[in-house]
Chains A and B, each alone.
Chain A
Amino acid sequence: MKIGLEMHFQLPTRSKLFCPCPTAPAEPNHNICPVCLGYPGSRPSLNRKALEIGLGIAQFLDCRIEERVWFSRKTYFYPDLPKNFQITQYETPLGTDGRFELNGRSIGIWRVHLEEDPGRIRRVGRPGEEIAFVDYNRSGIPLVEIVTAPDLTSPEEARTFIDQLVIELRALCGLEAQDEQTVRVDANISVGEERVEVKNVQGLRNLERALRFEAGRQYKLIAAGKRVVRETRRFDEERKVTTSAREKETEEDYGYIGEPDLGEFRTGNMLRALDLKETPLARARRLVASYGIAEVTAKQLVLTSSRLTDLFEELCHHVPAERAVAWTTGPISGNWSTLQDQAIWPELVQIVKADAEGHINDIEAKRRILALAGVRQEEASGTEDDLSKLISDYIDAHPEVLADYRRNPKAANTVIGHAMKESRGRHSSKEVVEEVKRQMERRA
């Protein structure tokens, strides 16, 4: 079985790709201007930050990067596309011929390029009597498109691939855990000769289901001596089947030409100035190689917290790696909310070191670590009331958050972020989120 993916990943810039409009969520048709509405006389100018992030992704994926890149116009008519052409990259993608390491196997990356997102269409009403609304807030949001070689061999692997790639890209772009991130995926799958494109699938779980169904459908056709038709199919979420999208079988002709308004960009200096962060899974591979620890342990560490991994590496300077693993994945991660305070790390290191050198035994070391955490816990013992007061004080001081929340529940993230920061780990994120939601709902 061969599966190839086309992923669209939204880049976390503050403004759009070709105009200064904000990318933050807003009321429909609020973040718009003559440029992202394609008004006659307006013209694009490139957001260099998007180009930088895109180049970072291409380099991270080990792509060949052109010295000169430019943009192209992809022409097609659709109501959500203000200019009826999309500014994308055609002849000179940011990167080609790259790879991504998936559990020890190299998955080919055919191309990485930048493009603008179209607007969003919402249909309201009964089928046959629908009214279509177009929201152009999304028009011009920067996307990076990543196209893989058909190197994935099962629906499960495809999903794992996306999961892992997203972990890496989020870290590469500096996204925090609470930051929203959209990823849209189309897939090509073939079990025999001819491939089928599966499009417009919502969510990764559905993608895996759609691919599993489609693989089964193709196997049955071939077993019955029938031919798989090359076509585009959509996934019906309710019936869990793919159906033909009945699109033209020939490739659509987008009539690509260069985008003359943006000119050419030289990538050399930008690449030299790039300072790529080490991504979590790459770090896990390095931990395996440098410290000889198990891969599963390394992944557990980096996916739990990059700070916990920092502490692990710190401990490795003083004690054998297996001791560092035992303590970090054991009592330390168990009490991480208090022990993550970097100020007490030297003490922590001393305890673990004393144990490793035989000055104290395991039981004593564990007692001291718990004491260290426990003392802290008492000092900073947070109660439900503290959290509740912290949150209600913040909402009182920022009434606009409540107003935003009525329009868009994501506004609660500001309060959650504040409470997480102020309570310094005294409460689990679950507690904080629940308390914020409770209070916001009550007030809204």
Chain B
Amino acid sequence: MSAPSTYALIQYAQRRHLAFTETVDGLDEGRFHFSAKDNLCALGFQARAGSAVLEGYRPPFDATPIHRLKAAGGQLVGKTTMDEFGFGSFSTNSAHGVPLNPFDPDRSCGGSSGGAGAAACLIPGHIALGVSTGGSISGPASFCGVVGLTPTYGRVSRYGLIDYGNSLDKVGLLSRSAASIAQHFGTIAGPDPKDPTSCAQPPLAGKGRMPSSLALPREAMENLDPAVRKAFQGALPVLRGMGVAVEEVSMPSLRFALPAYYVLATSEASTNLARYCGMRFGRREEEFNQHFNDFFTGVRSEGFGDEAKRRILLGTFCRMVGFRSRYYLKSLAVRQMLIGEYRRVFQEHDAVLTPTMPFLPPRFEDIRRMTPLEMYLADFLTIPPNLVGMPHVSVPCGYVDGLPVGMQVVADHWKEMDLLELAKGWEGAFLYTFPEVRP
């Protein structure tokens, strides 16, 4: 049997796994194919960021990373499904279909870039643009058994990205191999005057330096599913076999990352989401003969999902007079403290190694039983590097009952190419497996 065509695989990923919200009608000859998470603006597609409140929004411009990939010979083949505005860890908070895990359709792809994870897994050679605020690239990469690179904050322009938390959002890449990520990362990285926060970066190294010493924080090994722990520990001898030392360290501040992250991310999100009021774009309220407060309250009550409402309330609370210094300003201080803790580890080691997710891809029926807090805790290993804006990569490191387990490596600011060097080396020592697809 001959291999299915890429276009057939894209259609399959859309129909059977709900990886895409929209796709193109056909592929262009001679161009490489890439997809974009639905919170990245692109001409010719709606950009709804997983939210009903953005129904019908057709942005009049391309996001810079999309523009750059197109200019480098790429074709944008579709927009991938996601949690509403990136609010979630399982892509179940999506108004446009919940993506199904390529290894088992009863399980989650992770989130919030779940569609991107599924597309990267199901379509060989595919490059998926993902976005991470607190782990939304690492998580889906781990659950979908692919490689996910989250760059340093400020490395890739955010122009055209629909904001979640502007001081945390990072555009990155997911694919089956580190080599294809390395091939396209240089295209999307680099300063862009339209995003001033991208203009302070040092040049990207041509080739990375292979990390030779990894720090494994013992705090990261607590609260793990035993199956994940076992698969992860099985990867350590392979790493040592590659000549990479792994040493246990202590990073006691890691446990402060999660609360600080939720304060900062929701504070910023609650201001970013203020603009959705039914007037200028997206879902419109047609009944104009009412007070403005009633007008926008109607649109927001109907247009936002439960998790979006929860985060708006959390964030608004954290910004209030009287709570601002207790929560928002203190969280800013925690972020600085945590950067210091990573820096201390980087004096002795090249990178920090942990599992990516604390459990296997969960079944949807189990997710329905989880409380919001339990869901937030699922990201306790991916949030720390995101909070400090340091680059990290998640790669498959084992399989349990046919489900992938991922490990995550964090390097100091701007050292993405070192991480990709390690990920490429890892691919020479460890064999990835992908589900067999018959469109």
A interface, CB within 8 angstroms of B: 34, 37-43, 45-46, 73, 75, 77-79, 82-85, 251, 253, 255-258, 260-263
A257→B197 contact, CB < 8 A = no
CA distance A37 to B41 in the complex (A): 16
User: Contacts of A261 on B, CB cut-off 8 Å?
Assistant: 158, 166, 195-197
Query: B181 CB to closest chain A CB, in angstroms?
Result: 24
B280→A262 contact, CB < 8 A = no
Which 7 pairs across A and B sit closest by C-beta, in order of nearness?
A255-B319, A84-B274, A260-B167, A41-B41, A260-B166, A40-B162, A41-B160
User: Contacts of B328 on A, CB cut-off 8 Å?
Assistant: 257
Query: B162 CB to closest chain A CB, in angstroms?
Result: 4
B200→A263 contact, CB < 8 A = yes
A–B Cβ pairs within 8 angstroms, 12 of them: A40-B49, A40-B275, A40-B282, A41-B160, A41-B162, A42-B159, A42-B160, A45-B194, A75-B271, A77-B292, A78-B292, A261-B158
CA distance A75 to B159 in the complex (A): 22
CA distance A210 to B193 in the complex (A): 47
**Quick check: which of B59-67, B245-253, B342-350 contacts chain A, the rest being far away?**
B59-67
A83→B275 contact, CB < 8 A = yes
Given A41-B41, A83-B274, are A257 and B196 also a contact pair (CB < 8 Å)? no
User: Contacts of A42 on B, CB cut-off 8 Å?
Assistant: 61, 159-160
Interface residues of B in 139-175 (CB under 8 A from A): 158-163, 165-167
B161, B194, B281, B320: the one contacting A39 at CB < 8 Å is: B281
CA distance A418 to B40 in the complex (A): 49
Given A75-B274, A257-B267, A257-B268, are A40 and B47 also a contact pair (CB < 8 Å)? yes
User: Contacts of B280 on A, CB cut-off 8 Å?
Assistant: 37-39, 82
Query: B293 CB to closest chain A CB, in angstroms?
Result: 7
A38, A258, A263: the one contacting B196 at CB < 8 Å is: A263
- Which chain B residue has the least Cβ–Cβ distance from A39? B281
B195, B200, B274: the one contacting A77 at CB < 8 Å is: B274
> Would you call B375 an interface residue if the criterion is a C-beta within 8 Å of the partner chain's C-beta atoms?
no
Given A34-B61, A41-B63, are A77 and B54 also a contact pair (CB < 8 Å)? no
Query: B66 CB to closest chain A CB, in angstroms?
Result: 10
CA distance A73 to B316 in the complex (A): 12
CA distance A162 to B391 in the complex (A): 53
CA distance A85 to B328 in the complex (A): 18
CA distance A77 to B47 in the complex (A): 24
Interface residues of B in 338-369 (CB under 8 A from A): none
Interface residues of B in 17-65 (CB under 8 A from A): 40-41, 47, 49, 54, 57, 59-61, 63
> Would you call B277 an interface residue if the criterion is a C-beta within 8 Å of the partner chain's C-beta atoms?
yes
Given A255-B319, A263-B196, A263-B200, are A43 and B167 also a contact pair (CB < 8 Å)? no
User: Contacts of A77 on B, CB cut-off 8 Å?
Assistant: 274, 277, 292-293, 296
Given A255-B319, A256-B324, are A82 and B59 also a contact pair (CB < 8 Å)? no
CA distance A273 to B215 in the complex (A): 47
A40→B41 contact, CB < 8 A = yes
CA distance A45 to B280 in the complex (A): 21
Query: B311 CB to closest chain A CB, in angstroms?
Result: 14
With A40-B41, A77-B293, A257-B268 already in contact, 8 other A-B pairs whose C-beta atoms are closer than 8 Å: A40-B49, A41-B41, A43-B163, A251-B321, A255-B316, A255-B320, A257-B267, A260-B166
Given A85-B274, A260-B166, are A45 and B196 also a contact pair (CB < 8 Å)? yes
Q: Give per-residue flags for B266-307: 1 if the beta carbon is below 8 A from chain A beta carbons, else 0.
A: 011011001101011110000000001100100000000000
CA distance A253 to B275 in the complex (A): 18
Query: B166 CB to closest chain A CB, in angstroms?
Result: 4
CA distance A260 to B292 in the complex (A): 28
Query: A356 CB to closest chain B CB, in angstroms?
Result: 60
Query: A128 CB to closest chain B CB, in angstroms?
Result: 11
